[in-house]
Amino acid sequence: MIYQNRAGFGSSFNSGGKIPLGLQRKGLRIVVTGGAGFVGSHLVDRLIARGDSVIVVDNFFTGRKENVMHHFGNPRFELIRHDVVEPILLEVDQIYHLACPASPVHYKHNPVKTIKTNVVGTLNMLGLAKRVGARFLLTSTSEVYGDPLEHPQKETYWGNVNPIGVRSCYDEGKRTAETLTMDYHRGAGVEVRIARIFNTYGPRMCIDDGRVVSNFVAQALRKEPLTVYGDGKQTRSFQFVSDLVEGLIRLMEGEHVGPFNLGNPGEFTMLELAKVVQETIDPNAQIEHRPNTEDDPHKRKPDISRAKKLLGWEPKVALRKGLPMMVQDFRQRIFGDHKEDSS
Ligand code: NAD
Ligand code: UDP
Ligand code: UDP
């Protein structure tokens, strides 16, 4: 599908003329691929609030119109149903490239499609960035470090990734996406930014997406046992979504290519996470052990010194502060009349 945006090429000025005067200098035209998803929709909220014009490009594989429908009717917002594996013509100043399922359950569902999204999808968005001279930001992942032999992980670590495993479509897909990004930067002079995002949680996560925080929260609310995979001693570091969005915007606006780790260094075993969920929702919630999935990384914790130093960024929301905000959203979506929709 080819879509031509109405805004003219080359200018970084807003076209609607309805933006308050003080915000006009920030009136960029920005594409957010995957903008109807969990992280993307929070990013869109911030960009719209500061006066930018935002085009969301999303195929609704894991995204939902509900996540962005509060912007419908705003002349600075457009939603395009489009698969980034197909080329697209748009005229924009910045591209936040998030399109890709993030939950292991989703990305393993159709692994070849996940690779295409990461490789062909990223290639198309880089081609677009090259054609219009837009700045391009890739949302890569801590999974590029695989099952890390270095702890915590610094950006200089090259990782320990299984190239033929069930997670490879995502890990290796993102590694190739990083390679493409750097090759367009070096070869075609595209201005690029790379974020390596660590586990992020918050309102609007898909309720049944299989990720650990969404699983535990939904299970505790439904009075089901919390499913701990394996012995529960594996670790992750959980970042609240508003911290991530702040980091992504700082990275895009800053002068440094990266890659930058964006994550909260607070490290928890899955059993510790279960305990926090019990304290937050239901002290009587039971724990049930299940066999772990293949190639599950044993530990993960970001070293964020680079982002602190060069972006002036660090996370502000601790797990015990962020979790209640997510619980409120999940409670409303599970029990309230605001229904889940599959689009
Ligand atoms: P999400 O699944 O909620 O959002 C992904 C969005 O991309 C969805 O709206 C989906 O419909 C869309 N999408 C998927 N394939 C597409 C395609 N081929 N064409 C167009 N749209 C497509 O996931 P999220 O948690 O919001 O993650 C956003 C990005 O951040 C992803 O690139 C993910 O790899 C990265 N990331 C997220 C985390 C995390 O913990 N949330 C961690 C590391 C990296
Ligand atoms: N592309 C796109 N939109 C654009 C420009 C390019 O989707 O505005 C796609 C294009 O179809 C190609 C990819 O991006 O598949 C890479 O483009 P590039 O110009 O770098 O390479 P080429 O087309 O020469 O192979
Ligand atoms: N996990 C768990 N119970 C669940 C879902 C996941 O114990 O219901 C574990 C999983 O085995 C992994 C960790 O939680 O060790 C994080 O999994 P998730 O899918 O959230 O993200 P990942 O970091 O693996 O991409």
Q: What is the pLDDT of residues 240-259, one digit of tens each?
A: 999 999 999 999 999 999 99
Its ipTM equals 0.98
| Cα dihedral 322, 326, 329, 332 sign | negative
Q: Which atom of ligand 3 is nearest to the CA of 105?
A: 19
Q: Kindly give the pairing relationship between strand 135-141 and strand 94-97.
A: parallel
Best of 39, 54, 108 to mutate for ligand 1, by most ligand atoms within 8 A of CB? Answer: 39
Burial, 17: exposed, middle or buried (Cβ in 10 Å; 0-12, 13-18, 19+)? exposed
Of 222, 236, 294, the residue with max ligand 3 atoms within 8 A of its CB, to mutate for a pocket test, comes to 236
Q: What is the pLDDT of residue 196?
A: 98
**Whose alpha carbon is nearest atom 9 of ligand 2?**
124
- pTM reported for the whole predicted model: 0.92
| CA-nearest residue, atom 7 of ligand 2 | 87
What are the start-end ranges of the H helices in the chain?
A: 38-49, 104-109, 111-116, 122-132, 168-188, 212-221, 241-253, 270-280, 305-311, 319-335
Span 12-20, average pLDDT = 39
Pick from 30, 31, 80, 46: which is nearest to 241 by CA? 46
32-76 per-position pLDDT tens digit: 999 999 999 999 999 999 999 999 999 999 999 999 999 999 999
Q: How confident is the model at residue 295 (pLDDT cuts 50, 70, 90)?
A: confident
Using 50, 70 and 90 to split pLDDT, how confident is the model at 209?
confident
Is the distance from the beta carbon of residue 146 to the nearest atom of ligand 3 less than 6 Å? no
Rounded-to-integer distance, Cα 189 and Cα 55, Å: 24
Torsion of CA 254, 256, 258, 264, to 10 degrees: -40
Rg of the chain taking only CA atoms, in angstroms: 20
Catalytic residue check, 170: yes
283 CB-contact burial (10 Å; exposed 0-12 / middle 13-18 / buried 19+): exposed
Residue 80 CB burial class (10 angstroms; 0-12, 13-18, ≥19)? middle
Any ligand 3 atom below 6 A from CB of 162? no
* Share above pLDDT 70 across residues of the chain, in percent, rounded to a whole number: 90
